[in-house]
Amino acid sequence: MRAKSAIILDLKFARDNLKQTIQTFFPDREIIDLAEPDNAARDLSGIDYAVVWKPDADLFRRAPDLKVLFSGGAGVDHIMSVEGIPDIPIVRFVDRNLTTRMSEWIVLQCLIHLRRVLPYLEQQKKRVWSEFLQPEASEITVGLMGLGVLGLDAAAKLRALGFTVIGWSRTKKEIEGMETFDATGMNDFLSRTDFLVGLLPLTPETTGLYNHDLFGRLRQGGALGKPVFINAGRGKSQNEADLHIALTDGTLGGASVDVFAVEPLPEASPLWGLDNLVITPHAAAPSEPVALFQLMQEQIGRFERGETLQFTVNTAAGY
Ligand SMILES: NC(=O)c1ccc[n+]([C@@H]2O[C@H](COP(=O)([O-])OP(=O)(O)OC[C@H]3O[C@@H](n4cnc5c(N)ncnc54)[C@H](OP(=O)(O)O)[C@@H]3O)[C@@H](O)[C@H]2O)c1
């Protein structure tokens, strides 16, 4: 009987003990950690599995026999942008904990803008006691771009708080009690949206999508006066120069952004200086290694029993 295939570990996460942690899920397999200098020139042929985050450009040439590739995160743009991706299943990281944390972040940002937390903090610094207009959640329409695993969970939680939620996705969705749009309905969708929430994957179609023209098509004169932009999908979907202009010329009243074209966001970025923008360091929903390795254990078990893999990427669509 063939020995169980080793697993290539190529995760560039800043976490301790990744190798020891994955080893506990696969005690009878060798774990080849590409972060170890001894593995830099190692022959990786004959290995079936790899788990990667921003894989090295030469990984697929060095490991020509991979049968299943695991993404260290929910997004796969870090893989799709590498040349020579083999024609094998790519399993995304889909996890209850990650989904819950993303919804927490989205709900938090919507409430921050609804309840005027940024201007209140400014007032507090100046010891000013003065109340702002604060509409109820139901007066705000949140337009969710992306109705996948994360978008659907966020939609349910926003609706539970009373927000009016509408959604936009590549293929039209039927969701009870929620109006949805596909690509052809974009204008309609944007013109009804007060808070635009981005939970889209990065693909050629979504690159640079959030630009000044799009911000200008959001509803002006809603319950808070000006629209708000909230993005936790991918930074390259937003034009950051346009975002800066929209936040300073009054096209947008505020924004919350977790993802940027260049991460870490360079110190010189003018976005840091805006008092109507919340910046978080790609921390909305970090991947939890234990859950990631548990998912791999389940999926490798399925694969080796000849069962269908779950959470696979539609490589033609790019996500
Ligand atoms: N900031 C963070 O910490 C963090 C953490 C995890 C994930 N993310 C990001 O969140 C993204 C979404 O994750 P997910 O698990 O929800 O993905 P998913 O389940 O694959 O859902 C993606 C959604 O986007 C829609 N979509 C894709 N391309 C589109 C296009 N060109 N036009 C319109 N809609 C389009 C899809 O439409 P269909 O329904 O028609 O397929 C789907 O509704 C990830 O790709 C990743 O980039 C960020």
DSSP string, the chain: -PPPPPEEEEE----TTHHHHHHHH-TTS-EEETTSGGGTT---TT--EEEEES--TTHHHH-TT--EEEESSS--HHHHTSTT--SS-EE----HHHHHHHHHHHHHHHHHHHTTHHHHHHHHHTT---PPP---GGG-EEEEE--SHHHHHHHHHHHHTT-EEEEE-SS---BTTBEEE-GGGHHHHHHT-SEEEE-PPP-TTTTT-B-HHHHHTSPSSSTTSS-EEEE-S-GGGB-HHHHHHHHHTTS-SEEEE---SSSSPPTT-GGGG-TTEEE--S-SS---HHHHHHHHHHHHHHHHTTPPPSSB--TTTT-
Catalytic residue among 78, 212, 217, 282: 282
Whole-number Å distance between alpha carbons of 147 and 158: 13
Three-state secondary-structure class, residue 210: strand
pTM of the complete model: 0.96
227 lines ligand 1 (CB under 6 A): no
Res 14: pLDDT: 73
Gap from CA of 14 to ligand 1 centroid (Å)? 24
Q: Indicate which residue's Cα is closest to atom 4 of ligand 1.
A: 285
Q: What is the CA radius of gyration of the chain?
A: 22
Nearest to 146 by CA among 80, 234, 252: 234
Active site residue 192: no
Res 2: pLDDT: 77
Active site residue 234: yes
pLDDT average per 10 residues of sequence, the chain (319 residues): 91 86 97 94 96 94 97 96 94 97 98 98 98 96 98 98 98 95 96 98 98 98 98 98 98 98 98 98 95 98 98 96
Res 16: pLDDT: 79
Res 15: pLDDT: 76
In the chain, list all ranges with CATH 3.40.50.720: 7-93+287-304, 96-279
Instruction: Please determine, looking at this structure, whether the domain spanning 96-279 carries the CATH number 3.30.200.20.
Output: no
Instruction: Please determine, looking at this structure, whether the domain spanning 7-93+287-304 carries the CATH number 2.40.50.140.
Output: no
99 lines ligand 1 (CB under 6 A): no
Gap from CA of 151 to ligand 1 centroid (Å)? 7
Res 133: pLDDT: 86
Gap from CA of 263 to ligand 1 centroid (Å)? 19
Res 13: pLDDT: 81
